[in-house]
Structures are given as structure tokens and as C-alpha cells.
Amino acid sequence: MNFWRRLVSHVAVFATVIGWCTTAVSASTEKISTPESVIPFATLLARDVTLKPELKGEHPRVFFTNAELEGLRARAHGEGATLWRESLRDMKGLREAPPSAGSPDLDKSGVQNESSYVLSQLVFAYAVERDPKYLEASKRWLKAIVSWDPWGYSYRTPNVDLPPAHLLYAVAFAYDVLYDDLTAEERAATRTKLTRQARLMYQHFRYKPNKKYSFAQNHTFIPMSGLGVAAFALMDEEAEAQEWARLVRAVYDRVLLTFDVDGYYYEGFHYHVYSLHWIQRYLDALEHSTGEDLYPAMRQKFVPLKYHLAHSILPDGKNIFDFGDSGRGASERNEHRSSRLNSGWEVLYRLAAKYRDSEAQGIADWMRSQRQKTWEPHWAFWAYEPGIKPVSMFELATSHWFQDADVVYWRSSWDKDATAFAFRCGPPQGHHVSSLLGVVPEWRLNTGHAHPDAGSFIIYAKGRYLTGDTGYTGIKLTANHNTVLINGLGQADGKHEVFKDIPYERLNRIRLREVTTTPDFFYAVADAAAAYPREAGLKKFHRHFLFEAPNQFVIWDELEADKPSKFAVLFNGDREIEKVVTGHSIINGPVSLSVETIAPQETKATVSTLFVTSQGRPGSVEKGEIEQRGKQLRIENTDPTEAMTYVHTLRIEALPRSQSSQ
């Protein structure tokens, strides 16, 4: 610790750093330009969406034709054989029966979504293999799903929203691919059900004066993807399918316009994985069915998606940097569990193919090598281009700053024993939102999965998560994160969507002012004061985050208020936090993160058990159970003051076996 004590004691050193930071602030405040023109939504709705002439009256046609299937069959036993075998490895639809109509299981979260993937996997397997067992199982699951009424949860938004969207896609895919293998009765029953469910989805989402859509949010674009696939499957059989297709294409114009610009998905890693493949399903169906290819226009936004997926995965390949609504924090990440991480790697093979992107190919290969899961591996087989030479992960940069979201990741290497950390301080949906809100009148922000965590950080080392986030919560609280409270107040607290009524102009002032990284050094400065409400009286919150390899951190907070206040700095731990001579030790198994308060001299430190309101079931997300998610160290000034500078040093340390927790 002598180095860090000298750093604090030498005023000249601090003056140099302060001058450096000030220069960096003035040099990094660029604004994102406002689009010169945005096509009115009414104009988008009037645009024709039509099938390619050669596809009219043909099935299959939405994603591939019979002629193209011959090529897939050749690939399944040639260059794509490994991926194809993997896609057939776990065939739940062969070994399990589908839920029956009226089953209470259908109201359980994820059951209908999973059923859609089961059906599409069976259908795809039959399309390529032509094995009667796949056809028999496909028909069994298709018949069951067609019999369910309603689609979706009976207690909340039946027939619209996410489960019905999944089922629209899967049943439309089955109808399209199995068209000639269904009896006339089976075909009619499937078409009738598909038409009814698509009509209900369309009526819910159709445009009316003053209607607003959450274009960038998964509850909008996933239903539109399901409806779009259904429209292409039925377009020359049901006249209204043309209107469905027009609505979906219009909405998707805005989905792509408002999409994150730097690759970071604002709802967190798990929602990135949950959502992205649905955008691809629609874009691929649109391209194959109509000839319109939207990938080229999205190149700048889609190419960096690979970096968010790769950098979000911790070196162990099993856990993640859990910003946003991702996972259940300390309550699950230290468990010995058999379930594997779902990283959605299928999407990267498609992006690699569309953009000839060797990095995307290499990252997808790496994810597969870690035995991570994906939603629909048969689409990875479909998308894979063997001619794209993958880049090794060891050639990939070990740090990345997502400058629109203002989240930065750093790791010492891509090895499993690497040290890794992340630091964030940005508005809930990125800076680009501020330039779009005024020109997209039918857009309503939905930031329910974003957290009030400006200035927070996560640290991982020696195979263990040391300090950081608490995962998916039904009620968002700043007190759940490694950041600062003022007089007990957080940034935006007490409900699920905490940013809903806050002017985005204010939120847009939350930012990382500067980031500097090298292979053995990291420095960033965050400006988080705008994250706090006016009643908090916080005038300044600059957090300096410094790391020097292999194991030293300095967290330096400059805080000012409009009245004498108490400022509390928070550090979370997964398991134990113990008082030691120099401060506190956050312990996780054989490794610890020591925390020492260098300034001010007089503080009060308390350790408490950290409880959160976990997410409730759909429709009641704020009514989840109270759940323990680790411990928390809180360090606070003893006497109220208008200005405070906190300096904390953190050191990663291996513990003797006798001191380590389980």
C-alpha cells in the first residue's frame, strides 16, 4: 500500500492528474448529429411489401425454397456437418410431449417460448433429413400448439406480446416448410389458427393517431418479427396479410433507426441474447421473401454487436458482467449448476456471413468452444460460411469502450485466469437517443431493464466475481450498485422503470469523460451528477477509476452538494466482507479484494446483508420475492459536509487456504 499512500500524499501528483482529466473532459464532449430527415410513419405504412414473383403460390419460401434445401442437405453432410450434428444433439421434441391445451404449465414463464423453439427445430430437422420421425414429432407439437387458446399468458396480455410472437414465428415456419406434408385438414386448421393469431397481434399493434411504440425494446420488435414471418407465409392466401407486412416493415424502419449505435444493448447481456436473433429472423425472412436486404444499411450498427457479446462474458466462460437486468447476481453465480451460459452465438455466424467478418466468425467459434448455448443452432448451420477465416480471440483487443452507452471493458487477456473489470457511466439508452426523440414523434422510450447505476463497476479476478452488480431486479435501486448515495438518496429509485419521467436532456449529461487503456494500465473519469434528482442537491460527482496491473485499483470520488450532506460509497460482495487492519476484505473463495479508505481520515464503515426485490412474473414484475444477493460495504463521512473527496484503494489478493470462504 505504500505506493498508493505516496500517491495521495503528494499534492503535485494529484495536480497533474487533475489537469490531465480537465483536458480530457473538454476534448471528449462531442454531440451526435440529428438526422436530417426521417420518413413520416404514415408514409412508411403506405409502402408496398410484396413477395418475389417466383415465390407466389410456392412453399417453402419464407427462409428457403425446395431447391435451396438441396444445397442445405449437401452442406449437412459436408462442410457444415459439425454444426448440423450439433443442431440435432438435443431434440427435446422427440423425447417429450407438448403441453396440452389448458395445461397450467402454459402460464409458466418461458414454456410457450421454448415450445416455439422445439417446433422450429423439429421442422428444420425434417426439412433437411426427411426422416419420418421428425415429421411425426413436428405434427404432434404443431397440433398441440394450434389447440392452445389463448396464445400467451391467460392472466396478462393474452394473444399479444412475447409468447404469442414466438408461436407465430414457429407455426408460420412449420406451415411454410411442411405445407406439402400436411393433410388438407391439418393445413386448413393451421392456416385458420395462424390467421386468427396474426390478426389479433396486428390489431393490438396497428397504428392509430397518437399511438406510440417502444421501437428499441424487445416487447415491440419481437412481436413484429413473429407477425412478419406469419405475413410472408400467408401473403397470397390471406388478403389481410399484406397489411400485416406493411405494419411490420414500417415499425422495423423505426426499430433499426433507434437501434443502439455502438454495439452495446442497453437492457443488458441477457436481453441482448434474448432479443437479437429475432431482429435477424425478420431481416432474413424479409430478404428471402421480398428481395429487400436491410443488412448493408445496418453495417455500422451491427458489426460492433460482437464486442458486447464477447466482452460481457467473464474469463471463466460461464458468467457475465451483469449490468442491467441480467441473471440473479450472487444468489446464482457461485452455485455449482449444470446449465450452461446462453450467449446466442448463432447471430454472429449470420453477421460474419453478411459482412465477411472474420472477428465475428472467431468470436462465435470461441463461444461454441466454451460449450455455451444458443437459442436455435439450426440457424447457425444455415448461416455459417466456412470460407470466412476466423480471427483468434487472442488477436482481439482486450479492452473496448462503447462510447454511446459509455460502458468500458478491460481484461488482462482472453485466458480463463485473466483479470477483468468494467466501468459504466452513461444514460439508460445511450447518447444517440437525445438526437432522435424530437424527430420520431411516435416513439416512446422504455428503459425498464436499465438500472440507476451511473459510476458503477464490476471486478473479476482469479476465477471469481469480486465486486459488482445484483442482477435482474423487479424494483431498481441505486443502493444495489457500486456507486454513491447522498443523504440516503440514489439516482432514480423505487420502481421497475425508474427513468420513465426523467427528461432525457438531463440523462444525456451522464457520461464517461475520458478513457485511457493499455495492456497494463486503465484510467477513466465519469461525470455522474446528472443521474441524481434535484432534491438530492448533488452538484458534482466525478469518479476517477484507475487500475495498474496486476492487482491495484484507485477509486477517487469528487463530490459536492448544495448543503451539508452525507455521502456513502458502496462496495458489494458475493459472500463475505470482513474487517481487517487496513480496512475491509471482500472475500470470494480463495481470493479477496481489499478495500482501504485513504481519504478522508474519519469515516463510518458498515457491513450489511444485501437484499433486493427480485423480478415477479410477467405483468407483476415489481412484486417479486425479497432475495438475498450478497453483502455490502458502506463507507460514509461522519459529519455532514458540502464537499467531500473520497479515495479508496482496492487490491486483488490470493488468500491462504485457512482464510478463504467456500
- The pTM is what? 0.94
Whether the pLDDT of residue 99 is over 80: the answer is yes
CB 565 within 8 A of CB 641: yes
Q: Do residues 153 and 163 make contact, with C-beta atoms less than 8 angstroms apart?
A: yes
pLDDT in tens, 178-234: 999 999 999 999 999 999 999 999 999 999 999 999 999 999 999 999 999 999 999
Per-residue confidence band for 6, with pLDDT thresholds at 50, 70 and 90: very low
Do the Cβ atoms of 442 and 254 come closer than 8 Å?
yes
Sign of the Cα pseudo-torsion (503, 157, 171, 368, in order): positive
Alpha helices for 499-582 (secondary structure H):
504-507
Cell numbers that stand for 610 in this block: 444485501
Is residue 420 scored above 60 in pLDDT? yes
Write down the pLDDT at residue 35.
62
Q: What is the pLDDT of residues 327-356, one digit of tens each?
A: 999 999 887 766 899 999 999 999 999 999
Question: Is there a contact between 400 and 384 (Cβ–Cβ < 8 Å)?
Answer: no
Model pLDDT for residues 544-593, shown as the tens digit of each residue: 999 999 999 999 999 999 999 999 999 999 999 999 999 999 999 999 99
For residue 351, give the C-alpha cell.
Answer: 453477421
For residues 164 and 193, the answer to whether their CB atoms sit within 8 Å is no
Of all residues in the chain, the percent with pLDDT exceeding 90 is 91
**Nearby residues of 446 by Cβ (< 8 Å), 6 or more positions away:** 214, 216, 217, 219, 497
pLDDT value for 660: 63
Q: For each of the domains in the chain, give its residue range(s) and CATH number, in order of start.
A: 290-394 (no CATH), 397-654 (2.70.98.70)
Is the pLDDT at 495 greater than 60, yes or no? yes
Region for 137 from its dihedrals, namely left if φ exceeds 0, alpha if ψ lies in -120 to 50, beta otherwise: alpha
Q: Determine the pLDDT at residue 37.
A: 72
Q: Is the pLDDT of residue 3 over 60?
A: no
Q: How far apart are CA 164 and CA 259, in angstroms?
A: 23
- Indicate whether 393 pLDDT > 80: yes
Give the per-residue pLDDT at 27. 31
In the predicted structure, residue 10 carries a pLDDT above the cut 70: no
Q: What is the pLDDT of residue 619?
A: 87
DSSP structure class, residue 105: G
- Per the prediction, the chain carries an average pLDDT of 93
Interacting residues of 102 by C-beta distance below 8 A, sequence separation 6+: none
Is the pLDDT confidence value at 11 over 50? no
Whether pLDDT at 54 is above 70: yes
Cell numbers linked to 303:
458489426
Task: Decide: 263 and 308 in contact? Cβ < 8 Å.
Answer: yes
The DSSP code for 224 is H
Q: What is the mean pLDDT of residues 296-314?
A: 98
Q: Which of 175, 140, 262, 215 is nearest to 512 (CA)?
A: 262
What confidence tens digit (pLDDT) does each residue in 593-609 have? 999 999 999 999 999 99
Output the pLDDT for position 336: 73
- Site of grid cell 433486493: 612
Residue 662 banded pLDDT, cuts 50, 70, 90? low
Question: Rounded CA gap, 226 and 228, in Å?
Answer: 5
| Comparison of pLDDT for 28 and 506, the residue scoring more | 506
Q: What is the pLDDT of residue 34?
A: 52
Averaged over 419-432, what is the pLDDT?
98
DSSP, collapsed to helix, strand or coil, labels residue 565 as strand
Q: What are the cell numbers at 483?
A: 456507486
Q: Rounded to whole angstroms, how far apart are CA atoms 335 and 322?
A: 16
